[in-house]
Amino acid sequence: MQAELVLGSASATQIEQLADLMRGKRTAVLTGAGISTDSGIPDYRGAGAPVRTPMTVQEFLRDEGRRKRYWAGSHLGWRHFGSAQPNSGHRTLSQLEAAGLVSGVVTQNVDGLHTRAGSRKVVELHGSMDTVSCLDCGQVFARQSVAEQLERANPWLDTEGAVRLAPDGDADVDEIDSFVLPVCTVCGGRLKPDVVFFGELVPSSKFALAAALVASSDLLLIVGSSLAVNSGIRLMEQARRRRLPIVVVNRGTTKGDSRAAHKLDAGASETLTAIAERLLH
């Protein structure tokens, strides 16, 4: 079915139509970086977003200098990432889940804001910044403990200063030559945050959870994602094959616009809040 393209903010009529579509159905929600921009976390591809070349997993594994650059930036970014608060879009999805209208959230974000907003069924498709694993022995650590190790070894790092934050919690750092990498306190091995890097596959078990959530729902709502990452398109295709209605809410075009029954070129938080006002009251 060709998408109904709506430009600008959604009108009251379009909000009513989407609310009617969701009413009485269990909706699976797929979210991307666009839902967290109102929390002060930038996205990769929105209007005005700077051009970035994220580090690939291959670079991280083979080059100690690249690992230093990643860990220095990731540490500063994570400290500021943690101060971000859930916005009305995150809270609205939590409320809709509590009311039985949302069956769960699959998110491409690693910021943890859906869980902090109160959503109970969340599949973090690309992992979470809150834990770190040893690549050599498999030991898992809380991010806070690794952060404390980093700060002891690198007291010159300015964790309170301004940083240029990226959507994945990374930040730009200019000086890395003297940076001391964190190590596994069990075996002394290499550490990596539990997030999916570019060039790395989403764990099959994690994708299976996301696919099962979509399969058990009556509708797929995609919010704040350009669907440029393959995992999002795969979930959308599963919904299409099951003949589920698909709604896309995103500022700007997405790779899935032609497969959606409805496309709204609108902000995530404002649209979700308006829909919930009609569904919950």
Known binding residues for Zn(2+) are 134, 137, 184, 187
The DSSP element (H or E) to which 211 belongs, if any, is helix 204-215
| Size of the chain, expressed as the number of residues it contains | 281
* Residue 247 dihedral angles phi and psi, to the nearest 5°: -120, 130
Q: Copy the structure tokens of residue 49.
A: 């977003």
SS3 43: coil
3-state helix, strand, coil in the chain (%, to 5): 40, 20, 45
- Vertex 68 angle, CA 136 and 73, to 5°: 115
Known catalytic membership, residue 126? yes
Q: Are strands 246-249 and 27-31 parallel, antiparallel or unpaired?
A: unpaired
- Of 114, 126, 262, 281, the catalytic one is 126
Strand partners, 133: 140, 192
SS3 141: strand
Q: Tell me which residues are annotated as active site.
A: 126
